[in-house]
Amino acid sequence: MATTTAQVIISSTNLLSASLSVNNTRTLKQSDGTDIAQSTGLAATKAGDTNIYTIYAAADFNDDEAAKVYIRNNDTTHANYVTITLGSQVLGRLYGTDWALIPWDCTDDFKVTNNDAGTTIEHMLFHEG
């Protein structure tokens, strides 16, 4: 079985009164504690419009299993953002070059909306199967 590791490093010397340094690494796990079993593969999607669209349909996955979505806004223009929505609930925006690793319970469709038709997103789902 494959081992998939995620790492986040956050550092700043001037955000707080003292230096900030966060470095967390975690092997992605299934609900039973074993290593995550599958992925959708890395994809790049360009909608070509500014309508909301589904990148992962909840009906295609089991809602009692672990899933993590990696998503990145590939646009280099900061003002071109992607809005992330689960079902009808807006989670937030990824501005140009922003990325996120989001736990997903697979109960609502994972959707995005680009504010610019030319924006491409990169995405991948890690899941149990």
Per-residue pLDDT of the chain (129 residues; tens, 9 = 90+): 688 999 999 999 999 999 999 999 999 999 999 999 899 989 999 989 999 999 999 999 988 889 999 999 999 999 999 999 999 999 999 999 999 999 999 999 999 999 999 999 999 999 997
2: in domain: no
19: in domain: no
Domain hosting 60: range is 31-127
15: in domain: no
CA distances (Å), 103 to each of 15, 46, 89, 91, in order? 27, 23, 15, 12
1: in domain: no
For the chain, the domain total comes to: 1
Residue 127 in tokens: 């899941």
CATH code of the domain covering residue 104 = 2.60.120.770
98: in domain: yes
10: in domain: no
Count of CB atoms situated within 10 Å of the CB of 95:
14
